[in-house]
């Protein structure tokens, strides 16, 4: 299969931040873009939902998110080293 150059102009920070994620996943930027394009071809659509509408969150969902944010702050709530510790606490 022959290859072609694909030139894209984008914000430098977006490129750098994406490359950091790709590196953590063990992917090059070229491989990540190839995966994206193959998914577009396979599904004949964008591989994720596009919408102008933001989801409406129920009040209890918002309250749970706020509680989680508070617990995540240093010095608040409990601290867990493993998912097993979290699960054990949750089940108790």
Over residues 24-38, the pLDDT tens digits come to 999 999 999 999 999
Tokens read off for 74:
């240093």
The domains of the chain are located at 59-91
Sign of CA dihedral 78, 84, 89, 90: positive
DSSP 56: P
CB-CB contact of 31 with 39 (8 Å) = no
pLDDT of residue 76: 65
pLDDT of residue 53: 81
pLDDT of residue 12: 96
Of 12, 19, 44, give the one whose Cα is nearest residue 33.
Answer: 19
Q: How far apart are CA 28 and CA 19, in angstroms?
A: 7
Q: How far apart are CA 65 and CA 69, in angstroms?
A: 6
Question: Does this model's pTM top 0.75?
Answer: no
Q: Which stretches in the chain have pLDDT values below 70?
A: 76-77
């Amino acid at each position: 299969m022959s290859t072609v150059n694909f030139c894209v102009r984008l914000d430098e920070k977006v490129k750098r931040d994406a490359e950091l994620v790709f590196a953590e996943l063990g992917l090059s930027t070229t491989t990540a873009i190839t995966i994206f394009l193959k998914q577009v071809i396979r599904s004949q659509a964008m591989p994720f939902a596009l919408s102008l509408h933001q989801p409406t969150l129920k009040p209890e969902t918002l309250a749970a998110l706020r509680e989680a944010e508070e617990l995540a702050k240093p010095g608040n709530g409990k601290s867990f080293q493993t998912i097993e510790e979290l699960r054990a606490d949750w089940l108790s």
